[in-house]
A and B are shown apart, each in its own frame.
Chain A
């Protein structure tokens, strides 16, 4: 009886989840030119050797890790600051609106959001440089310059994702013990001390969830690159998932799936480590 109820769910999980993953891993051990044939030529770990010796991949991996670290810190940090602001007693009114304003981008289709951001950075159409010029500030290279492209992508992704992290923090803040904070204030603890020793320890669950989510999210960064930069300029935003997709698009199936498997391994290890770290923090 219960098998029957679970059958459609199991069918979809296997057909569009487990089978493709296994297929992908299988293809990573075959020669690209024969990968799609009925009996492909197996080449062992050759694709992995090629990928790991490819300077473009190594640079791409370094960029991905650098970007992930930066994006996790910026997103979770700013979301925490904003959630604390919305939760503070100094904010007299408008909480619902301020929350809504940062969450709307989360449910806005990412393609639409990133298309708008791409043009916001534009040198002739864009509002960003027009505003900077109006204020007499130096212009922002945005996605056109290799030095600023990663930052430009990061800001667009911050706009799209941050509201989600804010809502998680607010849900956690709603169940915090207010009396503790008040008692600390009466005992003479300043606002920073209260934050450090009273509020942050209570926010540990939300910090853990947001960090794990953000890690997985930004390691897999893809849409924003497709829409805004196509990996450029000068490979500055050529993150692993995009590079793997490009290889697949040019029929280098073996290397592309080898890269996919490596990235999957990294995501798995990183999230397991983060999960364990969170569990240990709780104990």
Chain B
């Protein structure tokens, strides 16, 4: 009896959490008329693909281009985040007592606490002064910094026994060699976790992209979706189709790497 209640409760909650995905998928493939007639249908009357034709071009930019922006910006910022955060966190862990490093760590933590949407406002001014407004470079640079990434690397580097690094130093290896030949090979699992989590987080980013962009040419999928959703005379089916395109890649990545995503996010949070 108790078992049935427990299963029932967990099943019901899961259904409620998953139903929006089913509804979004159905909305993308059903005509507006069918949806208005039966909003709760569980299967499309017919597979209607016209929504995907309708989103082939978004504000004068092709869906392919927007998707490529999403992929390019996300992958580039992820790679950059790994290199920059790993070497930064490594330096800060090896020399934790340096005043400059303690200030840097404190400054970084404060930055991460500042409301991102309000930080982006002055970032616009900074981008303007650096001449990075309207380009993808500014977006990639801005997205390369995040707290979860830093904490995961920092936590891992702290667990490396001092003897390992001492042994390499005695062998005459330079610090750079130690980092690349000794430490990073040990860190492969952390690099993978950080990479996947950064991909998921940055794929979803929209506000910095919107603010730093000056034309729809540098929009990513979430920004294009927001734009489409805000247009007058909304095409409901097209909105759902674009929502499906936006949701699908991270959903696949997550399902393939669920353990390291959930474990890594929890670990990064517990540390912070």
Contacts and interface: CB of A to CB of B under 8 A. Distances in A.
B115 A267 contact: yes
A111 B250 CA distance: 13
A86 B17 contact: no
Given A111-B206, A241-B115, A167 B262 contact: yes
A115 interface: yes
Interface stretch (A55-63, A141-149, A257-265): A257-265
B17 A101 contact: yes
A171 B271 CA distance: 13
A213 B3 CA distance: 33
Interface string B3-14: 101110111011
A34 interface: no
Contact of B107 (A17, A105, A112): A17
Contacts of A17: 107-108, 110-112, 114, 119, 145
Nearest to A124: B36
Contacts of B118: 24, 241, 244-245, 260, 263-264
Interface residues of B, number: 94
Interface in A80-112: 82, 85-86, 88, 90-94, 97-112
Interface stretch (A45-53, A65-73, A179-187, A222-230): A222-230
B200 interface: yes
A16 B145 contact: yes
Contacts, number: 273
B7 A94 contact: yes
Contacts of A216: 113
Given A109-B203, A220-B116, 19 more contacts: A2-B91, A2-B94, A6-B88, A9-B85, A16-B111, A20-B121, A82-B10, A91-B7, A94-B7, A101-B18, A107-B200, A112-B246, A112-B247, A119-B240, A120-B23, A125-B36, A125-B39, A222-B117, A245-B121
Interface of B: 2-3, 5-7, 9-11, 13-14, 17-21, 23-24, 27, 35-36, 39-40, 83-85, 87-92, 94-95, 98, 100-101, 104, 107-108, 110-119, 121-123, 125-126, 130, 141-142, 144-145, 174-176, 179, 200, 203-204, 206-207, 221-223, 225-226, 229, 236, 239-240, 243, 246-247, 250-251, 253-255, 258, 261-263, 265-267, 269-270
Interface of A: 1-3, 5-6, 8-10, 12-21, 23-24, 27, 36, 82, 85-86, 88, 90-94, 97-113, 115-120, 124-127, 130-131, 134, 159, 163-164, 167-168, 171, 205, 209, 213, 216, 219-220, 222-223, 226-227, 241, 244-245, 248, 256-257, 260, 263-264, 267-268, 271
8 contacts: A3-B100, A9-B91, A104-B21, A107-B200, A109-B250, A116-B23, A171-B263, A260-B121
